[in-house]
Amino acid sequence: MLRSHHRQSFSAIQPSLQAKSGNIQNFGTADFQYDASAGRYFTPASLASGGTTTAWISRFSSGVTVPTSGFGPTYGGGTYSLPNFYYVGTNTHNPVVANVTASIAVGTASTFSGTVAQTSGNAATATLTVTTNPTNNGIAIGYLVTGGTLPTGTFILANQSGTANTTGAWTVTVPQGTTIPTNASSVTYTCTAITMTVSAVASGIINVCGMMYKSSGGPASNTFVTASANENTSLTGTGGTGTYLVNISQTYSSTSGVTQFMPFVGFNSGDAFRVPMAAGDRTVSGYTVLIAYKWGDVTGHVSMMGSTHANGGDYSWGRNLAVREYNVAGGSATGGTASSTGWHVTALRFDGTQSTNNTRFKAWYDGTLETLNWGATTVGTSTTAPASITSTVTAAALTSGTMTLTYATTGSPAYVVGDSITVAGLSPTTTSTSALVNGTFTVTACTATTVSYAITGTYTRTSGGTVTGVPIPNLMVSGKAPIASATKNTFPTTTTQEINIGELLVYSSALGDTQISSLTTYLKNKWLGTN
């Protein structure tokens, strides 16, 4: 499933791992990360089902764009919709992570001239270019930014260049994933620290990206924490009492009973997402996965995630009725009870270099090692390669030494550069230079609907043609739910969601027990409000 040839060092894990309010960038580099608390990972105009997902943190072959359609008939066919993004204070499935006493005050505003350029492929982020020196306290991570066409709640996410009181460039975003339009004309912007002071913590751990909520007498609607002391050293809060920044300008005196919860995605109906991987992921001997999630209220067979290998699933896990079930490299095991109560963290590790089922594969549930029952099955030393697929050619074009064949969409690129494909049935059978058009070729480019390779001459196709090859695998997250999709920013109070996901981390190697424990702590801090 994951690249076994890329055995990344995990020495990048920092001592700050134990910080209460964390940023995953401090914890090493995952090959894939999805964090539902960052609404910017969705195309803003399509946060509800049916949209396109962009800006995943993915280091697999196809980069950051994640298609939402199935991978051809061989891989199940059909079209999947995106999970819905939820951030309403009354959601019954909320991951509630803290209950605090807090106040909010508005700081001294700074002004400057600048322009805004929307990020290509991710309309929920933009670059703010500062062209005059900011006044007063200047600019800092977590500050609210207003002016021009910036939507309400826009804040400073990261520094690109310059300092607080100089010209430079900063990344801005909106927690709800709202579109940030380009504003190429220079206008006056205002940057302000909106400081939340937490004087007491009744329970839990405060996190960046979480929304502060109280039914009345508390934070304004859609108030999100934008920075802690981990992101901005002028602050003092690291998950407990202290100061934090928020994204909505407001003032209120200290009040108890303020709840923080994390935005999440809920899978219902035909919801799923898939992440194209790489050629080296066709067979692997090790991987690590960690996920923060909540099961829905229904029973039955529910898939949490797996790889689309068209062979019954080399790697997958979910719930089989009320029991957690794991499948890996030919082995299948059951674990403990799949509770629909509360949020949980599961960690999975496959290490094909080990000698027994229980050493080759381990699962941790909220940090506790599972006791697995493998029955008569055996975990192999590596995963099984995807099954070969064949696509019917609908068009062929030869330009400047590159042949490009067109076929029905495969949902995502089926091959990567350097892969071998077999072409058959094209007529005529040769180019103008007598080069054979049918045979085995090396892929030079590929999309969801085309594949290209080098060949000489000119060519006009009259009929026929197929392309056959072993596709790259896909990491698939899916929920088999019995109800229709809800709309953005709503959630039923009684019922039925199959899976809800907060954060997913995938590593291309079998991490050690200590590393897994540290990452589990990070996820429990953030999504469960516990250590």
Q: Please write the tens of the pLDDT for every residue from 393-429.
A: 999 999 999 999 999 887 778 888 999 999 999 999 9
Out of 5-14, 64-73, 227-236, 394-403, pick the least confident. Answer: 5-14
CA separation for the pair 239, 232 (Å, rounded): 13
Q: What are the beta bridge partners of residue 111?
A: 190
- Containing domain of residue 484, as a range? 15-87+265-383+475-528
Q: What is the pLDDT of residues 436-477, one digit of tens each?
A: 999 999 999 998 899 999 999 999 999 999 999 998 887 777
Residue pair 259/99 in contact (Cβ under 8 Å)? The answer is yes
Claim to verify: residue 400 and residue 453 sit in the same structural domain: yes
Taking a C-beta distance cutoff of 8 angstroms, is the pair 57, 63 a contact? Answer: no
CA distance 470 to 97: 44
| Residues 379, 283 within the same domain | yes
Domains contained in the chain, number: 4
Query: Which residue among 469, 494, 515 closes a domain?
Result: 469
Peptide bond into 73 cis (omega under 30): no
What residue has token string 């800092």?
Answer: 140
For residue 64, the tally of other CB atoms under 10 A from its CB is 16
Helix (H), strand (E) at residue 252: strand 252-261
Same domain, 374 and 399: no
Q: Is the pTM of this model over 0.95?
A: no
3-state secondary structure of 46: helix
Residue 385: other Cβ atoms inside 10 A: 15
Are 133 and 22 in the same domain? Answer: no
318 — pLDDT class (breaks 50, 70, 90) = confident
Same domain, 362 and 499: yes
The last residue of one of the domains, among 158, 174, 192, is 192
Domain end (from 192, 219, 245)? 192
Decide if 147 contacts 189 (C-beta within 8 A). yes
Q: Are residues 377 and 479 in the same domain?
A: yes
Q: Positive or negative, the Cα torsion across 109, 114, 119, 122? A: positive
The closest alpha carbon to 194, from 238, 229, 227, 157, belongs to 227
Encode pLDDT of 178-205 as tens digits: 889 999 999 999 999 999 999 999 999 9
